[in-house]
A = this chain, B = another copy of it.
Amino acid sequence: MSASSRFAVAVHILALLETNANQALSSSSIAASVNTNPVVIRRILGRLNKAGLVHTEYGADGGTRLARAAHEITLNDIYHATENCRILPLHASSPNQDCRCGRTIQPVLSSIFSSAEAAMQQVLANKSLAEVVREMQAQAKPPVVQPS
Q: Are B12 and A95 in contact (CB under 8 A)?
A: yes
Q: Are A96 and B35 in contact (CB under 8 A)?
A: yes
Q: How far is the CA of A14 from the CA of B135 in the complex (A)?
A: 43
Contact with A87, one of B3, B93, B96 (Cβ below 8 angstroms):
B3
Indicate whether A99 reaches chain B with its CB closer than 8 angstroms. Answer: yes
Q: How far is the CA of A63 from the CA of B15 in the complex (A)?
A: 54
Contact with A95, one of B34, B113, B123 (Cβ below 8 angstroms):
B34
Indicate whether A23 reaches chain B with its CB closer than 8 angstroms. Answer: no
CB neighbours of A15 from chain B (8 A): 101, 105
Q: Are A34 and B135 in contact (CB under 8 A)?
A: no
Q: Give the residues from 1 to 55 in chain A that come closer than 8 angstroms, CB to CB, to chain B.
A: 1-9, 11-12, 15-16, 19, 32-36
CB neighbours of A67 from chain B (8 A): none
Q: Are A5 and B87 in contact (CB under 8 A)?
A: no
A-B contacts, 21 of them at CB < 8 A, read: A1-B6, A1-B85, A2-B89, A4-B89, A8-B109, A11-B105, A11-B109, A12-B91, A12-B102, A16-B99, A33-B101, A34-B91, A35-B91, A35-B94, A87-B120, A108-B132, A112-B127, A112-B132, A115-B123, A119-B119, A120-B120
